[in-house]
Structure 1
């Protein structure tokens, strides 16, 4: 993790400054991922076509609304403990751990696959951040990461549940 170029802002929050510094870096890293996920969710929403279109299209809207709320909570946590939330497109591009989203896909199934791959990266990074925030001494941020993790695990499950699944009834 690299040092942030932004100094801590004065706050009466009594977390140790080292804890704040570590946790702000964790939060900004996951915020970059979360904002990236929100953008690719909308990219898929706008451009998918095919089987189950309307259901998946509407699901993407629900996902995006929830993602916006969760991203806002992470950004506000950063500010609450004296940090600077980094949410510009430049920061997202520089700091997101999410693989670049293909812009040449159209089919619902291709979007479901591409989204599932990226949501899994984010969900796994969130689980790691839960432990890292706890080890840094910030149970509140760990709890926030747990909330975001639960939501992303559910969204990932919904994406994966839309993919064709082999039937045992037709297996020989």
Structure 2
């Protein structure tokens, strides 16, 4: 029997909480968090795509680096989803929802060597980092310092990982 795809119900129901943020703030923040959840899940799977498929002279170091990065992203998936639910919302964390809602472009499935994978991931980590910085400003502006702090924590690691990726792409001619 083949499953027939159906559009998931994306309920915006809120559950009771004693967190003292107004429902309109919690609603806006959980919408941003769910967009982040989708992008984080997508970035994690794209990083695993690189981990599984990288080839070339730098295979081992990149294979290990990509796996470590995917593990970090997995912990951020959990942090973001749990913040949504702490605010009384519903975490929208299925693979189908993530694919439909992610801000990231699709991964280049023809990437083979290390430079191609590193370049693809650097582009995606940069876009994700930009999203995080915008979310810091927005959630702070809404008066949710805790969510802004969560975003700040994630942003620091993403910027560091982008630095690691970009360091692989520097050529001697770029330094002259």
Q: TM-score scaled to structure 1, two decimals?
A: 0.93
Answer yes or no: is the 8 Å Cα contact 2:39–2:98 preserved in 1. Answer: yes
CA shift for structure 1 position 12? 1.2
Q: Is residue 15 of structure 2 the alignment partner of residue 9 of structure 1? A: yes
> How far apart in 2 are the matches of 1:93 and 1:87?
10
Deviation by residue 1:134-170 (Cα, 9 ceiling, x = unmatched)? 111100000000011111111111111112422578x
Q: Which residue does the alignment assign to 2:52?
A: 46
Report the number of matched residues.
167
> How far apart in 2 are the matches of 1:5 and 1:87?
13
CA shift for structure 1 position 65? 1.1
Gaps of 5+ in 1: none
Instruction: Name the CA shift for 1:57/1:168 in 2 (closer, same or farther; >3 Å).
Output: closer
Match 2:108 to one of 89, 102, 106: 102
Deviation by residue 1:64-101 (Cα, 9 ceiling, x = unmatched)? 11111111101000010101111111111111000110
Q: Which residue does the alignment assign to 1:56?
A: 62
Runs of 4+ in 1 over 6 A off after TM superposition: none
> How far apart in 2 are the matches of 1:41 and 1:165?
23
Q: TM-score scaled to structure 2, two decimals?
A: 0.91
> How far apart in 2 are the matches of 1:140 and 1:13?
11
Q: Which residue does the alignment assign to 1:33?
A: 39
CA shift for structure 1 position 127? 0.3
> How far apart in 2 are the matches of 1:168 and 1:37?
28
CA shift for structure 1 position 51? 2.3
Pairwise mapping of residues 128-147 of structure 1 onto structure 2 (< 5 A)?
128-147=134-153
Q: Which residue does the alignment assign to 1:73?
A: 79
> How far apart in 2 are the matches of 1:159 and 1:9?
41
Deviation by residue 1:89-138 (Cα, 9 ceiling, x = unmatched)? 11111110001101111111000001101110000010000000011110
